[in-house]
Structures are given as structure tokens and as C-alpha cells.
Amino acid sequence: MIIGVPKEILERERRVAALPENVATYVGMGFQVLVETGAGKGAYRSDDEYRKAGATVVDDVEELFARSDIILKVKQPYFNAKVGKHEADMIPEGRMLITFIHPATPYNHDMVRRLRDRKITALTMDSIPRTSRAQAMDCLTAMSTVSGYKAVLLAACHLPVFVPMMGTAQGVLKQAKMFAVGVGVVGLQALATAKRLGADLYALDIREDARKGAKSLGAKVVGFEAPPEVAIGEGGYAKALPEEWLQKEREVIQSVLPEMDMVILSALVPGEMAPVLITESMVASMKPGSVIMDISIDQGGNCSLTRAGEEYWHDSVMISGLANIPGSVPVHSSWMYAHAVQEYVKNLFKHGIDKPDLDDDIVRYSMVTHQGKIVHHGTLKAMGEL
Ligand code: NAD
């Protein structure tokens, strides 16, 4: 059985799906490992380190895809301009792909259908269940930690004001206000980072646990409480709010939005499209020079104006839809991601490297396509096929 690790092709993506230490683990399990030349460069890991760990370094990416039984990647398959082929089409029929796929997002639907048509067993790292057994495989939490941290640093760099309160010889400058909408892993890390920078913190979430977490970091909780039966689903996670409640939520957000300097959006419902919580008219009411970091962009975004992969000024408000923030902290994010994927692979092949356990609950939960079918609930729902 051969594992292939191609170099990531998304612009500014510097992560890699396996580090040399992970290659050594896979080789120890009995896999042969192919790594594309320069795959670890963005995370400062050399081809020689991969060779020493037991990998074969391959220059030709098409050969790597053709020979591999399992492709390990970070980002979803994209068109590889260098070879003029889509990564999804380079995977031979019936083989396996393990990566972030974000399959419910509309702009990924065509790619998911390609995977289906090529009978790929595609396993997505954004659908690992939040059970204690799966904790070490939880790639989303690992990457969310990076996104929350870096989003605040990026926002602070765009701001035309200081973040902390500053006592100067000319007088006292007020601290910046930061608003976290959605206080899961991203939002909590963003609040913690903004607190270290000295911001005045505000937060809103539809789960009571999340609001408690925000309060414990010193944030003022913006009052919006949907009844638990409307907001909380299976396992204590958020549910998609009905439109009438989303409308109420937008009104509450609107009541504080004009005061905010940084808005960090990370409100998500597992396996679903992100709810739109900030509309164009709401952006128009924001302070000139303020910044929206829409971290939910892989699921479509929480702001209706966010453009995937872009940062732009909408009049005088900066709206950032950068899609690969963890890719800008490549050493630590590769380390966390590659180790989480390694745990996933170990679990998948726990009965032997030629016997993937496709009935395992973690594997089933993360499966997107298999044997020519789309089997991922959130994706089928988003495609209108449920
Ligand atoms: P997520 O990315 O799915 O959602 C982010 C946040 O958005 C959640 O807090 C959710 O309540 C909130 N949200 C959804 N709809 C909203 C709306 N309309 N308005 C405002 N907020 C909305 O979740 P996550 O960050 O991956 O995890 C959520 C929580 O799960 C974490 O805070 C943590 O307590 C827990 N968790 C547990 C494990 C584990 O046990 N292995 C791992 C990770 C997270």
C-alpha cells in the first residue's frame, strides 16, 4: 500500500499533510510513502529529511498520484495549473483521498461530483466527530486554534488605530473594540489573542457554554438568546437557526456593530453552510476603517459581502475572506494537522494496512464519496439531494 503526499498547490498554502516524523510512522506501519519534491519546503522541512525518514521523493506529481493508493493532502483538490489537470482527476479510479474537502460548500460541489464519478473514497478532515476517541484526530479544532489567533493579528495590522489603550503625552487613546460572533474554538482563541493585545471584548453565540467561555475571558456578552430547542442540536452543538431567529440575531448584531473596530466571524453549524449574520446594509453602518475577518468562508461566510480568498475594502470597511489562514503559520499548523491525520490513518488501518475499516464510526462520519455515491449528509442537504 502506497501513501502519496503531494505539494499543496493553493496560493500561499505552506502546510504539508505529513512531516518526516509522520512518514517514519507510516513506514513503520508497513506503508510505502511517496513525497513530492519540495512538499515540506513551506514548513521548512527538506526533501533529505523525508528521504531519511524512509520516503521516496518524487519529482513528477502525476506519477505520485498515479502510483498512490491513498493521497494525503491539506486542502481540497484544485486545478493544478503546472500540469494542466485537476487534482481530483489525477487520482486513479477507486483510490482513497484524505484531506479537508469542505464538501457542503457550493463552490466545492462540482469537485465532489468528480470524486464521486471517479469512485474515489474521499474522507474529509472537517467532519471528524467530537467524541473523546476522535479528539487526537480533530483537524478542525487544531486549525481553528491557528485561525483564531492569526485572524486577530491580521485584523490588528489593517486597523488605523492602536488595539490597546495608550497613554501618550498628547492624551489617552481609547482601546479598540473587538466583536467575536461565534465563540467556538476560533472565537475563543480570537478573544484570548485580542485580550493579550489589550482590546475591549464583545461576544455573541447561540450556545450558553460558549457565552460562559467568552465571559471567562472578560468579554461582554451581547444579549441574544434563542431558546435551546431552537439553537442546540445533537451532542450540545449549535443547530441551524430558522430564518425568523436569524433575523432577530441580525437586529441584535446591528445594535452594536457600528461601535466595533474588529469583527471576527466564526459562527458555524457542523456540516452546514455558515449562517449569514451580517448583510450589506449592516456593513454600511460600520465605522470607517473597521475590519471584518470572516473565518467561516470555507462554509460560505457569515457576511454576505465576503469574497472567498480575497481581502478588499468595501467603501471604508476591510472585508477579509482569506481561505488559508492556518497556511500562514505553517510550522505549527503542519505539525498539528499531520499528527491528527496520522492518528486518523492509524485508526482507519487498525486491522492492517490492506484492510481499511470503513465501518468505523469516525470514518463513516467523515466519508464524503464512496463507490460512486455521495454519502455525506451535510453535502447532500446543501446540494438539495436529501
Ligand atoms: P463550530 O466551528 O461548528 O461553530 C463555531 C461556533 O459558532 C459555535 O460555538 C456555535 O455555537 C456558533 N454558532 C452557530 N450558529 C451561530 C449563530 N447563528 N450565531 C452565533 N453563533 C453561532 O464549532 P467549534 O468551534 O468547532 O466547536 C464548538 C464547541 O465544541 C467548542 O467551543 C468546544 O466547547 C467544543 N469542542 C469539543 C471538542 C471535543 O470534545 N473533541 C472539540 C472541539 C470543540
| Dist. CA 267–CA 254, nearest whole Å | 16
Q: Which of 125, 130, 252, 325 to mutate to test the pocket of ligand 1 (most atoms within 8 A of CB)?
A: 130
Full-model pTM: 0.88
Sheet with 70-72, side-by-side order of all strands: 56-58, 32-36, 2-5, 70-72, 96-99, 121-124, 367-370, 373-374
Helices (H), 227-376: 228-231, 243-256, 280-284, 330-348, 361-366
Q: Which atom of ligand 1 is nearest to the CA of 267?
A: 7
CATH topology of domain 2-127+329-373: Rossmann fold (3.40.50)
User: Is residue 327 within 8 Å of 96, Cβ to Cβ?
Assistant: no
> What single-letter DSSP state applies at residue 54?
T
Is residue 263 pLDDT above 80, yes or no?
A: yes
C-alpha cell, 246: 436569524
Q: β-strand 32-36 against 2-5: which pairing, if any?
A: parallel
C-alpha cell, 353: 494496512
C-alpha cell, 162: 492602536
Closest residue by Cα to atom 16, ligand 1, is 267
Reported confidence tier of residue 143, pLDDT bands at 50, 70, 90: very high
Q: Verify whether ligand 1 is closer than 6 Å to residue 266 (CB atom).
A: yes
How distant, in Å, are the alpha carbons of 63, 159, 319, 327, 383 from that of 291? 44, 7, 6, 21, 32
C-alpha cell, 339: 499528527
Q: Verify whether ligand 1 is closer than 6 Å to residue 176 (CB atom).
A: no
Cα of 254 vs centre of ligand 1, distance in Å, is 22
C-alpha cell, 49: 529529511
DSSP for 158-196 reads H-SS-SS-EEETTEEEPPPEEEEES-SHHHHHHHHHHHH
Q: Which atom of ligand 1 is nearest to the CA of 241?
A: 18
Reported confidence tier of residue 105, pLDDT bands at 50, 70, 90: confident
Closest residue by Cα to atom 43, ligand 1, is 141
Q: What is the mean pLDDT of residues 173-202?
A: 98
Q: Which atom of ligand 1 is nearest to the CA of 134?
A: 41
pLDDT at 11: 83
CATH topology of domain 143-327: Rossmann fold (3.40.50)
Q: What is the mean pLDDT of residues 18-26?
A: 98
Cα of 336 vs centre of ligand 1, distance in Å, is 19
Closest residue by Cα to atom 29, ligand 1, is 184
Cα torsion at 24, 129, 371, 81 (round to 10°)?
-60
Q: Verify whether ligand 1 is closer than 6 Å to residue 241 (CB atom).
A: yes
Considering the chain, tell me which residue range(s) the CATH 3.40.50.720 domain(s) occupy: 2-127+329-373, 143-327
pLDDT at 224: 86
